[in-house]
Structure 1
Amino acid sequence: MSNGHHIVVLGAGYTGMFTAIRLAHRTRRTGVKITLVNPSGRFVERLRMHQIAAGQELAVHRIPALLDGTGVTFVQGAATAIDPETRRITVDDTTTLGYDTLVYALGSRTDTGNVPGADAHALTLNSPEIAGRFAARAAELAAAGGTVTVCGGGLTGIEAATELAEAHPGLNVTLISSEQPGAMMGDKARAYLRRSLDRLGVTVVSGVRVARVLADAVELTDGRTVRSDACLWTAGVKVSPLAADSKIATDDRGLILTDATLRSVSHPEIHAVGDAASVRMTWGRLHGSCQSGLPTAQYTADAIARLVRGKTVKPFRFGYFHQPVSLGRRDAVIQFTRADFTPVRLRLTGRAAVMYKEMFSGSPLMTYRYSKRMNMTTFVSKRATASLEPAV
């Protein structure tokens, strides 16, 4: 690849931002041009949206400020079309960007389209604005002794329910889950989780699915009705249809099918990272999470840097090692795992778990800051190397 090579990164979430900043550092002497495209000028920490929903105010980080000093050009706008044949992207249906290499990092969103009424009567954690609307409603209900339902017993639902219950003692919080909360954990970690839910007064309705969301209630598939003055929906995710609409090879969920180096199997000039990529390891498929997303970003930045220099790259390798769950601001549980996400005996709870989670699963902003000047490796990315040789 010659100087003047143009790399476009679509999406400035956790993975897109890390890819752009690390790539800028790794290619700083090559003449490569990097453009980052995102609909909003605000960097959103998706993993902290449940804190906003509980009424906490988080610092606002602007994307241009995070990119300062990197040489990356920021374009604020939504990518509405990709033409892989001409290698051009349409932004906001008005302007076009050409690319030589494309990093697709559009991530995922909570899906409210599969259950009747969820799109009309439930709010999500998809943006700070929506989470803020839920926070205002939750504060009103807490003063009146109202009830909120959190639908979805995955890690996001658990963190949201416990955060709400801790922040608003007068609020009745019900967590509705098709499985036992913490079903992916070992017995002892799951028991600790359940005790924490009980301590915070969270009512758990498990082993049943939501049939319909109403304005003032949630109907369950077993015929029961749960009162719900406000519903927070955390069950299920969907990705942007942009890749599939652009005739890029995707799986049945719309994730880009990738080869062993995280490049599109149909268009190898396109690299996919994070929730937007369908990635398989020898032990199984990656699921969407920051724990696996940041390693795909680190690997892709390093891989592209090597390809720019005409070098080869090694296949992507990754294995999970923990399941971290916040239980309010003062409690947490960490279940350590095998590479395939199944639990092992080791776990952390209480204050030690809070400190561990903040250290290893907290905000990536410090990583971004240092990555402008050095080849910063995230703790979860040690196995995600494009090569054993450092880029110059």
Structure 2
Amino acid sequence: MTTQQQPTQQQHVVVIGAGYAGLSAATRAGKKHRVTLVAPEARFLNRVRQHETFAGHPEHRPALAEVLADRQVTHKQALATELDLNGRKVFLDSGEVLSYDTLVYALGSRTAWHGVPGAAEHAYPAERAAELAARMRAAAKPGTVAVVGGGLTGIELATELAEAHPAWKVRVVSATPVGHHLSAKGRAHVRRVFERLGVEAHEGRAVTAVTAAGVRTDEGAIDADLVAWAAAFEPRELAAEAGLAVTPDGRAVVDEYLRSVSHPDVHVVGDAAQVRVEGVGELRMGCVSALPQGGYLGDLLAGRTAKPFAFKYQLQCISLGRRDGLVQLVHPDDSMRDTVLTGALGRWTKSLILKVIIKGLR
């Protein structure tokens, strides 16, 4: 097994992005190095709980200052707009220019519209969850919400909305069967919860447009007063614009130490990176792999490990409203096992994991 030599002197590490990967990398690297964290937000965007925000529940977003306490980390509340990789500089929208010894690129991902006409104008993505919640509260009478996307995010969102707003009709529109990647037991439990909450599933219907009246699909129109978009995510374009080696979809290609294969002084973690692990394969986007990547990189930079990044999947979990949940056990390569935990036990397990995530940022 190969190892990487670590610098013996303190460096200036610049981390751009304060998601699961960026924030955990900054807090751990900040135990040894001087770290500047660049992110426009003052609070942590806890994406795995955005379905709760959509439903109007209180947000669980700790202040970055609280997470960064007692670390050598300075938070620059700004947006990185340009990278000079040869000159080792980061340009901010505030006009400031930061020089670095090591750059951690952790800008994560954003909602992908897939070129669907009207989606950006009429649908509410995760980034605008609070706006949809406000629209539902302000509505003169209950209506219909269409959730586009039948993956884990869409399932969580649909069940949360249906439970929080029982007078509203919730419809899931998906090109694939809802929860198609889950085991048979997992899919069956999701169907039972949908039936209990009155959620309609329109499966095998690809969305071709979004309008003020709902969505259009390849099988016809589906009426909706509001549309929530939970279809997919895509990496931001700054990595490609800066000249990092990227995949066709824009993710930076990294080695076993999460270093850019084209610029070794740049580490890329989280949804922004294409990470491959022997015996597991290419990691999917999401908190489940982003948080371990950030923690590993912080330890690597701080000299607490010199080994390549290692990871294996253990489970997938979703909340199904406030009183139900699904924990799907998986093989190390993320393929399904037969074992699932459901009901109150599944929900309790998901709640415990959410608490562990926040602690893991430290």
Give the TM-score of the pair, scaled to structure 2. 0.94
Match of 2:212 among 208, 212, 215: 215
Determine the structure 1 residue equivalent to 2:247.
251
Contact 1:152 1:177 in 2 (8 A): yes
Contact 1:113 1:119 in 2 (8 A): no
How far the C-alpha of 1:102 sits from its partner, in A, is: 0.8
Contact 2:88 2:99 in 1 (8 A): yes
Match of 1:267 among 252, 263, 270: 263
The Cα offsets for residues 333-376 of structure 1, whole Å up to 9 and x where unpaired, read as: 111001111111111000111111111244622334xx4xxxxx
Determine the structure 1 residue equivalent to 2:359.
366
Q: 3-state SS of the aligned residue for 2:302?
A: helix
| 1:117-136 alignment runs, 5 A limit | 117-126=118-127, 130-136=128-134
Matched, 1:356 2:349: yes
How far the C-alpha of 1:245 sits from its partner, in A, is: 0.2
| Amino acid aligned to 1:68 | A
How far the C-alpha of 1:2 sits from its partner, in A, is: 5.3
Q: 3-state SS of the aligned residue for 1:313?
A: coil
Q: 3-state SS of the aligned residue for 2:82?
A: strand
Q: Distance in 1 between matches of 2:338 and 2:61?
A: 39
Q: 3-state SS of the aligned residue for 2:271?
A: helix
Matched, 1:5 2:6: no
Matched, 1:172 2:165: no
Q: Distance in 1 between matches of 2:214 and 2:353?
A: 38
Determine the structure 2 residue equivalent to 1:323.
316
Which deviates more, 191-200 or 354-363?
Answer: 354-363
The Cα offsets for residues 184-209 of structure 1, whole Å up to 9 and x where unpaired, read as: 11101110111101110000001121
Determine the structure 1 residue equivalent to 2:80.
79
Contact 2:245 2:252 in 1 (8 A): yes
Determine the structure 1 residue equivalent to 2:180.
183
Q: 3-state SS of the aligned residue for 1:80?
A: strand
Q: Distance in 2 between matches of 1:304 and 1:42?
A: 24
Contact 2:316 2:330 in 1 (8 A): yes
Change (3 A) 1:262 1:95: same
| Amino acid aligned to 2:231 | A
Matched, 1:196 2:193: yes
Matched, 1:157 2:154: yes
Give the TM-score of the pair, scaled to structure 1. 0.87
Q: Distance in 1 between matches of 2:336 and 2:43?
A: 36
Match of 1:16 among 4, 10, 22: 22
Matched, 1:139 2:137: yes
Determine the structure 2 residue equivalent to 1:347.
340
The Cα offsets for residues 182-240 of structure 1, whole Å up to 9 and x where unpaired, read as: 11111011101111011100000011210110111211112x11111000011121111
Identical counterparts, % of pairs: 41
Matched, 1:58 2:75: no
* Count of residue pairs the alignment pairs up: 355
How far the C-alpha of 1:175 sits from its partner, in A, is: 0.4
- When the two chains are superposed, the root-mean-square deviation of aligned CA atoms in Å is 1.5
Contact 1:80 1:93 in 2 (8 A): no
Contact 1:10 1:103 in 2 (8 A): yes
Q: Distance in 1 between matches of 2:61 and 2:210?
A: 32
Determine the structure 1 residue equivalent to 2:276.
280
Q: 3-state SS of the aligned residue for 1:345?
A: strand
| Amino acid aligned to 1:41 | A
Contact 2:49 2:60 in 1 (8 A): no
Q: 3-state SS of the aligned residue for 1:306?
A: coil
Determine the structure 2 residue equivalent to 1:382.
none
Contact 1:43 1:63 in 2 (8 A): yes
Q: Distance in 2 between matches of 1:93 and 1:112?
A: 29
Contact 1:139 1:168 in 2 (8 A): no
Change (3 A) 1:60 1:280: closer
How far the C-alpha of 1:113 sits from its partner, in A, is: 4.8
Contact 2:46 2:60 in 1 (8 A): no
Contact 1:21 1:70 in 2 (8 A): yes
| 1:220-239 alignment runs, 5 A limit | 220-222=217-219, 224-239=220-235
Q: 3-state SS of the aligned residue for 2:173?
A: strand
| Amino acid aligned to 1:7 | V
After superposing on structure 2, the runs of 4+ consecutive aligned residues of structure 1 that deviate more than 4 Å are none
Q: Distance in 2 between matches of 1:189 and 1:327?
A: 12
Change (3 A) 1:140 1:124: same
